[in-house]
Every structure is written in structure tokens, then in C-alpha cells.
């Protein structure tokens, strides 16, 4: 039986950076990029880049570099970006509306399929060509539109309730922007984006430099 290779979280976290840089390089009309140049653009050593990529197979050609389109496609497949995930945003306030209008969802292979809110003044409005449904309809809509990922952009007190509704409806992943920890079953993948924590960390580092 083939032993499963364990990839470090740090390596996985760098893959989206490689993908983004390769996409920009492709838009510049470049067909080949070296690990040295890729490293300069990202502030990562060429050795680390080669080690990261070697975790998934053999890429590039010695003495030539990496073929941009090919490596971008390979990393996209590793990240699962070729799966065309359907997503829904819950909470169409300022942050939720901004996320709903995020144009890179499409370029990354994510499809905005549904929006939800509990405010009757918001329900029925159109954001980025998608009609806002009531959160009470989440179970039906998630199943009908085959939603894979739920994005939570509601105030903290409502986040757990929304997460529970999304899990019951059948999503397999949650992207949580609410500033609180939410509990989900083990089979649900979750990523937390606490903006207040990010700003606090930035404030800390700026303060240290001013001392």
C-alpha cells in the first residue's frame, strides 16, 4: 500500500502565492520563469520554491525554468481550483456585499451562486447579478444550486447559527469572516478570516518599530 505523503501547512499556504504570481506573469506575456525570479517576486528563496514544488512532483526543466502556463495549471489542480466550486455569501452588509462583488472569484474558478440575509429590506435585492434570498431558505437553495462553500459575513452573535444552517444544508466548506470561533463537524473544512486580529497584529509591529 502506497504511503500517504504529508505536506506541511507552510508549503500548502505558499501554493496560492505561487499561483497568483504565475497568473500575473502570464498576463505579462511571459512563457518561462525561473525559481530565482519567482523567489525575488515573492521574497522566498529559490531552494524553498523548488522544495515546495518537489513535494507534488517534478516541474520545470533544469537550466530553463518553469513553463508559466503549465505550472499554473498544475498548481491550480493541486489546489482544486479546477473543480469550479459554487459558493454562497451569508450576510449582505458592507463586507458581504464587497465579497459578493469580488471579481477574482471567477478567475480563481469559484462561482457565486447564492446570497442570503435576514433583513427583509435586503432580501430580493440584486448584488453582482445574484438575487438575495432569505436565510430561512438556505437549506433548499444550497441543495438546488449545489453550493459547496458558505461564506459567513454576519455579526459575531449570529455566526454559529448561520454555520449550523450551512452545515445542515450540505456545504462542505466554510469561510468565516465573523470575529468569533465557530464549531463545525470534523468533515467540514473551515478557514477563519478575523480582520480585527490582522489589524491588531499590524498595529503591534508598527508600534514596535516606533519604540
Q: Which of 96, 72, 95, 68 is nearest to 82 (CA)?
A: 72
Distance in angstroms (rounded) separating the CA atoms of residues 21 and 45:
15
Distance in angstroms (rounded) separating the CA atoms of residues 112 and 129:
9
Distance in angstroms (rounded) separating the CA atoms of residues 205 and 208:
5
Distance in angstroms (rounded) separating the CA atoms of residues 165 and 162:
5
Estimate the crossing angle of helix 46-54 against helix 35-42, to 10 degrees.
110
Query: Is 95 known as a binding-site position?
Result: yes
Query: Is 91 known as a binding-site position?
Result: yes
Query: Is 96 known as a binding-site position?
Result: yes
Query: Is 109 known as a binding-site position?
Result: no
The DSSP-derived string for 75-138 is HHHHHTGGG--EEEEE--SHHHHHHHT-THHHHHT-EEEEEEES-TTTTT-EETTEEEEEGGGH
Question: Cα angle at 72 between 56 and 97, to 5 degrees?
Answer: 110
Identify whether the C-beta of residue 193 lies closer than 8 Å to the C-beta of residue 178.
Answer: no
Query: Is 93 known as a binding-site position?
Result: yes
Distance in angstroms (rounded) separating the CA atoms of residues 107 and 26:
13
Feature table: binding site for NAD(+):
91-96
Residue numbers in the known binding site are 91-96
Amino acid at each position: 500500500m502506497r504511503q500517504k505523503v504529508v505536506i506541511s501547512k507552510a508549503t500548502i499556504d505558499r501554493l496560492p502565492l505561487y499561483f497568483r504570481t504565475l497568473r500575473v506573469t502570464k498576463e505579462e506575456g511571459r512563457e518561462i520563469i525561473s525559481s530565482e525570479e519567482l523567489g525575488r517576486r515573492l521574497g522566498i528563496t529559490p531552494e524553498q520554491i523548488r522544495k515546495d514544488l518537489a513535494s507534488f512532483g517534478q516541474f520545470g526543466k533544469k537550466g530553463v525554468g518553469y513553463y508559466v502556463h503549465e505550472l499554473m495549471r498544475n498548481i491550480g489542480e493541486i489546489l482544486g481550483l479546477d473543480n469550479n466550486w459554487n459558493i454562497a455569501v451569508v450576510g449582505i452588509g458592507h463586507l458581504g456585499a464587497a465579497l459578493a462583488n469580488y471579481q477574482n472569484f471567477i478567475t480563481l474558478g469559484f462561482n457565486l451562486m447564492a446570497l442570503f440575509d435576514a433583513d427583509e429590506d435586503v432580501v430580493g435585492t440584486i448584488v453582482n447579478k445574484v438575487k438575495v434570498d432569505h436565510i430561512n431558505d438556505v437549506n433548499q437553495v444550497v441543495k438546488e444550486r449545489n453550493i459547496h462553500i458558505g461564506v459567513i459575513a454576519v455579526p459575531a452573535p449570529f455566526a454559529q447559527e448561520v454555520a449550523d444552517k450551512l452545515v445542515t444544508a450540505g456545504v462542505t466548506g466554510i469561510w468565516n469572516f465573523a470575529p468569533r470561533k465557530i464549531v463545525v463537524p470534523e468533515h467540514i473544512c473551515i478557514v477563519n478570516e478575523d480582520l480585527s486580529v490582522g489589524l491588531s497584529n499590524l498595529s503591534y509591529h508598527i508600534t514596535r518599530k516606533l519604540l
